[in-house]
Amino acid sequence: MIKIRLKEHLVHLCSKDGDWQEKTWDIDWLENKGNIIEVKFKRSNQAYKYTKNRVQFEKGPKAIDLSKTKLVWRGQVQNNVVEAYMFKEHIVYYTHTGFRKVCKAPEVKIIESCINDKDVASVLAYQKDLASYLECEGGDRPFLQGQLEGIRVLSRESTLASYLKADNNTYEDQEDLFIYPFGINESQKQAAEASFQNKISVIQGPPGTGKTQTILTIIANALYRHQNVAVVSGNNSATSNVYEKLEKNGYGFLAASLGNKGNVERFLKETQYKQGHIENWIKDEEAISDSKESALEELKDLDQQLKKLNERQVLLDYKTQLETEQRHYLKRKNIKAINLKDYVLVGSWTSRQILTLISELEALEMQRAT
Q: For 326-366, write each residue's pLDDT tens digit.
A: 888 777 766 665 565 555 555 667 777 778 777 877 776 77
What pLDDT does residue 370 have? 59
For β-strands 9-14 and 20-22, DSSP reports them as antiparallel
Name the more confident of 133 and 57: 57
Q: Tell me the pLDDT of the chain averaged across its residues.
A: 84
Task: Give me the residue spans of the domains in the chain.
Answer: 2-59, 62-112, 118-164, 186-298, 338-370
Name the more confident of 290 and 83: 83
Q: Any idea which of 74-83, 86-95, 344-353 has the lowest mean pLDDT?
A: 344-353
What pLDDT does residue 368 have? 62
Buried b (16+ CB within 10 A) or exposed e, 208-233: eebbebbbbbbbbbeeeeeeeeebee
| Backbone angle region of 84, left / alpha / beta, with phi > 0 → left and psi within -120 to 50 → alpha | beta
Q: Is 41 exposed, middle or buried (0-12, 13-18, 19+ CB in 10 A)?
A: middle
Close Cβ partners of 283 (under 8 Å, ≥ 6 residues apart) = 291
Res. 80: pLDDT tops 90: no
Res. 282: pLDDT tops 70: no
Res. 193: pLDDT tops 80: yes
Res. 166: pLDDT tops 80: yes
Res. 248: pLDDT tops 60: yes
Closest CA to 93 of 107, 352, 143, 183: 107
pTM: 0.59
CATH code of the region 2-59: 2.30.30
Residue 303: which pLDDT band, with cuts at 50, 70 and 90?
confident
Closest CA to 52 of 38, 63, 64, 66: 38
What pLDDT does residue 138 have? 60
Residue 124 · residue 151 · CB < 8 Å: yes
What pLDDT does residue 356 have? 78
Give the CA diameter of the chain: 123
Residue 20 · residue 56 · CB < 8 Å: yes
